[in-house]
Amino acid sequence: MTRYCSTGTQHKDYLGIAATGKKVQFEEISIYRIQDALVVEQWCLGDDLYCIEQLKGGGKPRTG
């Protein structure tokens, strides 16, 4: 399992929101299934609500 912060700039429609050109930052968690020392499956969970808030102008990227 890993926890990390993703960043990016919206250049195309995402989650029903037209491209804004805004930079976003949100946290994600990934869980892996490992078999014979290889990752054979990965599940990711991101904070989509916080991302939407940033794209719509209500939220600001977290610091620290």
Rounded CA gap, 7 and 18, in Å?
Answer: 18
Rounded CA gap, 23 and 38, in Å?
Answer: 33
Secondary-structure class of domain 2-55 per CATH: alpha beta
Q: Tell me the pLDDT of the chain (64 aa) as tens digits.
A: 999 999 999 999 988 899 999 999 999 999 999 999 999 999 999 998 998 999 998 666 666 5
Q: Give me the residue spans of the domains in the chain.
A: 2-55
